């Protein structure tokens, strides 16, 4: 074969390989890719919600089912006054443990153990970055750094915070099918490691946009819905009720304001599995 044909063939092969590699998400190739402007201290359950969906009121004073007050916190709150939160009516708390595959909340011990010592039922959550690494990789990082569970009646199931991308494209550059696969990968890994499927934190708008309103998780994962309005509104497909409602991103309790959809004994039942 003439030399120019060999060179042309090699060039085409290299270009084709580069295009194929560019079409594969970084995590699929086995490489973690942390955003250049990584700011995990600003990312928490609901940190992107108001900017995308706004605020349109506070919960109705009279709700059909007894609601139990709770909160969620991250490094943004620093050291929390847990005895004060308990005195103000908090009965449960979710604490951010991890984000992506290389961040852990520096206040996690104070927040996770402190809430427990103050008598709250507490759990840990992971802020997902689905474009950084696989669901299994992030679930493993999470469970290894605070996202465990024990049947002590004081520990809520691990939770997955999956919401608008704080670093770019709303759906992290994944197709709807790829996003569903990522969530299932995370969910199954958490279940294998802890014996519990994760609670899923999301909004109806994000879930519809980025998963195609997939209905495949309602039978295994409790729903933690975010909506800053008078009612929870329409829920994502697969769920007929919310287990937790994050109804405001500020209020009388430190961090975000939440209601567990039931009386305290039902909250205990969720913790016990």
Domains of the chain and CATH, by start:
42-272 (3.20.20.80)
**141 C-beta neighbours (distance < 10 Å), count:** 21
Strand partners, 99: 103, 127
DSSP string, 151-176: SSSSBPPPEEE--S-TTS-TTTT--H
CA-closest candidate to residue 225, choices 39, 42, 59, 43: 59
The tokens 């195609």 sit on which residue?
Answer: 212
Residue 41: pLDDT band (50, 70, 90) is confident
**What pLDDT score does 44 carry?**
86
Both tokens of 49, joined, read 């919600």
Burial class (CB in 10 A: 0-12, 13-18, 19+), 105: buried
> 3-state SS string over 103-153?
EECCCHHHHHHHHHHCCCEEEEEEECCCCCCCHHHHHHHHHHCCCCCCCCC
**What pLDDT score does 4 carry?**
31
Residue 246 near residue 223, CB atoms below 8 Å: no
Strand partners, 34: none
**What pLDDT score does 17 carry?**
36
Percent of the chain at pLDDT exceeding 90: 76
Host H or E run for residue 71: strand 68-73
Tell me what the mean pLDDT of segment 167-174 comes to: 96
Distance CA(222)–CA(137), nearest Å, equals 22
Tell me what the mean pLDDT of segment 39-58 comes to: 76
- Out of 72, 205, 249, 256, pick the active-site residue: 72
**What pLDDT score does 62 carry?**
65
Q: Is the dihedral of CA 206, 210, 214, 216 positive or negative?
A: negative
**What pLDDT score does 7 carry?**
32
Residue 121's SS3 state is strand
Residue 264 near residue 254, CB atoms below 8 Å: no
- Out of 43, 161, 163, 205, pick the active-site residue: 163
Residue 230 near residue 59, CB atoms below 8 Å: yes
CA-closest candidate to residue 231, choices 245, 249, 244, 221: 245
**What pLDDT score does 32 carry?**
64
CA angle, 94 as apex, 134 and 198 as ends, to 5°? 40
Distance CA(115)–CA(142), nearest Å, equals 19
Give me the count of residues in the chain.
273
pLDDT digits (tens, 9 = 90+) for 138-150: 999 999 999 999 9
Distance CA(243)–CA(156), nearest Å, equals 12
**What pLDDT score does 47 carry?**
72
72 included as an active-site residue: yes
Distance CA(269)–CA(155), nearest Å, equals 10
When the pLDDT of each residue in the chain is averaged and rounded to a whole number, the result is: 88
Q: What is the pTM of this model?
A: 0.86
């Amino acid at each position: 074969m003439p030399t120019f044909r060999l060179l042309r063939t090699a060039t085409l092969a290299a270009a084709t390989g580069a295009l194929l590699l560019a079409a594969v998400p970084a995590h699929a190739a086995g490489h973690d890719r942390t955003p250049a402007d990584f700011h995990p201290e600003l990312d928490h359950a609901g940190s992107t919600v108001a900017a995308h969906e706004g605020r349109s009121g506070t919960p109705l004073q009279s709700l059909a089912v007894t609601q139990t007050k709770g909160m969620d916190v991250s490094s943004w709150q620093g050291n929390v006054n847990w005895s004060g939160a308990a005195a103000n009516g908090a009965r449960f708390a979710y604490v951010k443990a991890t984000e992506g595959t290389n961040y852990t909340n520096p206040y996690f011990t104070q927040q996770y153990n402190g809430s427990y010592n103050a008598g709250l039922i507490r759990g840990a959550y992971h802020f997902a970055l689905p474009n950084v690494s696989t669901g299994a990789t992030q679930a493993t990082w999470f469970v290894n750094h605070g996202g465990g569970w024990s049947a002590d009646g004081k520990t809520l199931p691990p939770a997955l915070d999956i919401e608008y991308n704080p670093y770019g494209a709303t759906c992290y550059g994944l197709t709807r099918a790829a996003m569903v696969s990522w969530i299932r990968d995370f969910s199954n890994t958490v279940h294998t490691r802890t014996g519990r499927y994760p609670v899923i934190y999301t909004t109806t708008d994000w879930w519809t946009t980025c998963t195609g309103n997939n209905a495949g998780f309602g039978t295994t994962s409790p729903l933690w819905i975010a909506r800053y309005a008078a009612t929870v509104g329409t829920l994502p497909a697969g769920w007929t009720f919310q287990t937790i409602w994050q109804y405001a991103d500020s209020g009388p309790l430190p961090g975000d304001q939440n209601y567990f959809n039931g009386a305290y004994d039902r909250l205990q039942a969720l913790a016990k599995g």
